[in-house]
Amino acid sequence: MDTLKLVFVLIPALLEIVRLIEGLITEPKTGEQKKAAVIQIIKVVLTAGQKAGLLQKINVDALLAAVDVLIDTIVGIMNATGVFTHAGKAGAER
């Protein structure tokens, strides 16, 4: 699987991981901590996949760069639509 295909495959997983982390880390102004946690989870999965020989042709740095932007996009959409709320107001701070 090439890097671009894997990005598309990861989008549903990213959505779920972002939701999971948002539910686990509920303190305000912890957006960077949440984002780092999501990236670390994805990095662990990718590393395991590479060690198992499943993702040999994947450029992990390029994939993680895409994941970084996707996290911002997902969180931005969830904030804008009110899915994430913080301290009683719409739009969680990331």
Return averaged pLDDT per consecutive 10 residues of the chain, 94 residues in all: 80 95 92 96 91 84 91 94 71 43
| pLDDT score of 89 | 52
Nearest residue to 59 (alpha-carbon basis) of 27, 32, 67:
67
| pLDDT score of 1 | 60
- Give yes or no for a contact between 67 and 40, defined as CB atoms under 8 angstroms apart: no
Domain span at residue 28? 3-90
Domain count, the chain: 1
The predicted model scores a pTM of 0.81
